Structure 1
Amino acid sequence: MTVQKTSVEQRLSSAVGLEQVSHVYGANETTVTALKNVTWSFTPGSFTAVMGPSGSGKTTLLQCVAGLLEPTDGSVLLGEHRLNGMSEKKLATIRRDLIGFVFQAFNLIPALTAAENITLPLRLAHRATDQAWMNELASRAGIANRLSHRPHELSGGQQQRVAICRALITKPRVLCADEPTGALDKASSKAVLSVLRDAVTELAQTVIMVTHDPVAAAHADQVLFLVDGRIVDVMTAPTPERVAATMTRLAGED
């Protein structure tokens, strides 16, 4: 399938726009091209899942969107901000204030309570906590009664919901999630995906999630399928069955 590229006007009005983005690892005979001229616009207030075989470039795409990796070629636009060529100091501020990131491994600080982990980005930025917003996030995530607990006192699903609240506490432009349910059981995964879905539906957040799980992808508004660093298919209104069938087909074509 040939995916139609978005217009310049669409990209500039998007939450995040990728414009002919490529990324190459290594050099000479060890060169690996992870992304190849990817152009896409992520609509504000949308939930996008990114899927593909191992080595397809999905994590590289997410890291470019989040400003964790600079493209070899092309541009990443976060609203009016062009992340390419930005100084590390400015980029650090953008990542802190405008981009939320959720990792598979939670990355909570063991010595801090759940509440302290959630508000850590604000403390690092020397900003006061909006207690009403904090309470709303904790309530929506179902952890309002666990805020005084430290990570080792929480289940894996609760830790990931703390991590999502931490990513949302600054009210970012976009929330990037890298396999957020990869380390969780079925029930915990369902709870985490419900929080991400709620962030889009109720809080108008833009969520981009890399996943290998068709059930997780079915919570999104659309699924981008990557193969060999290119977007090769797009699915709207996904279901687990349709997503799984597409992944099977793409694996057979690889």
Structure 2
Amino acid sequence: MTVQKISTGQRLSPAVSLTQVRHVYGVKETAVTALNDVTWNFTPGTFTAVMGPSGSGKTTLLQCAAGLLEPTTGSVFLGDHQLNGMPEKKLAIIRRDLVGFVFQAFNLMPALTAAENITLPLRLAHRAADQAWMNELAKRAGIANRLSHRPHELSGGQQQRVAICRALITKPRVLCADEPTGALDKASSKAVLSVLRDAVNELGQTVIMVTHDPVAAAHADQVLFLVDGRIVDVMETPTPERVAATMTRLAGED
């Protein structure tokens, strides 16, 4: 089939936009500020890695960007949709249709085959599966010959690639990945990162990935570094060595 890049309209606006986002967990004496006045635009069709020391706010930023968490103050836009303040029912539909999720835990349904797991979001939305699109995703992910297998019959890397295909099946505006290689060995991690990179380069997907691994971050177009809930550095065209050096420097300043 002829592959069409994932459409996000005319791409005139950021895929995701955070403006003065602040998120606080707890109240009064137990209050912890996870994000502190974060403003950033994620450009459509780019791959952004988010890094920082433990407790820096990486996952909170990702969850706010994906509409999983409402900021205490500030605004979050997914394209033209303002997520904060949106009724939960409508927000659930936006997340289902416009956001793909990949987590460290693969979160596959054990009773379903790989193909059934991939098309599950469409079934939940009562939409017909695009067989050609699923086959194309599976081919690109290197799991075309594993679609009839259930999760327990797949390696960790294969399960994560199934999860990525599931995240892309709806042609979302943005794919959010939280430590997608955290539970994988080096070879499996490389395969998963190649699939994410291909989704950006060949399909025009927007990817936001939280990671602690400099090698994983080097697959991105840019890296955002967070410390104490703030973006303190941005690196374009990262390399593992430069990312590791920046992380070491930030840890020393913490």
Superposition TM-score, scaled by structure 1 size = 0.95
* Matched position secondary structure for 2:203: coil
Can you list the C-alpha shifts for 1:190-225, whole angstroms capped at 9, x where unaligned? 000000000000000000000000000000000000
Please list, as runs of the form range in 1=range in 2, the aligned pairs for 1:116-127 lying within 5 A after superposition.
116-127=116-127
Other-structure match for 1:56: 56
- 2:203: which partner in 1? 203
Aligned positions, number? 244
**Secondary structure class of the residue paired with 1:202:** helix
Q: Which residue of 1 aligns with 2:115?
A: 115
Deviation at 1:132, TM superposition (A): 1.0
Q: Does 1:19 align with 2:27?
A: no
- 1:227 and 2:227 correspond: yes
Contact 1:17 1:78 in 2 (8 A): yes
- Unaligned runs of 5+ residues in structure 1 are 1-10
Name the counterpart of 1:74. 74
- Partner AA of 1:203 in structure 2: L
Q: CA deviation at 1:233?
A: 0.1
Give the Cα separation in 2 of the matches to 1:222 and 1:192.
18
Q: Is the 8 A contact 1:12 1:77 kept in 2?
A: no
Aligned to 1:192: 192
1:216 counterpart residue number: 216
Task: Name 1:6's counterpart in structure 2.
Answer: none
- C-alpha distance in 1, partners of 2:195/2:180? 11
Q: Where do 1:28-177 residues align within 5 Å? A: 28-177=28-177
Q: Sequence identity, in percent?
A: 89
Q: Distance in 2 between matches of 1:63 and 1:77?
A: 13
Whole-angstrom distance in 2 between the partners of 1:50 and 1:241: 16
Asked whether the equivalents of residues 64 and 71 of structure 1 are also in contact (C-alpha less than 8 Å), the reply is yes
Contact residue 12 and residue 80 of structure 1 kept, 8 A? no
**Residue in 2 aligned with 1:183?**
183
CA offsets per residue over residues 73-101 of structure 1, 9 Å max, x none?
Answer: 00000011000110110000000000000
1:12 deviates by 7.6
What is the TM-score with the length of structure 2 in the denominator? 0.95
1:238 is matched with: 238
1:108 shift after superposition: 0.2
Aligned-residue Cα RMSD (Å) equals 0.9
SS at match of 2:85: coil
State the one-letter code of the partner of 2:166: R
d(CA) in 2 for partners of 1:171, 1:72: 29
Number of the residue aligned with 1:5: none
Determine helix, strand or coil for the equivalent of 1:220. coil
Amino acid at match of 1:78: L
Residue matched to 2:5: none
Residue identity matched to 1:157: G
C-alpha separation between the residues in 2 aligned to 1:28 and 1:40? 28
Q: What's the offset of the Cα at 1:13?
A: 1.1
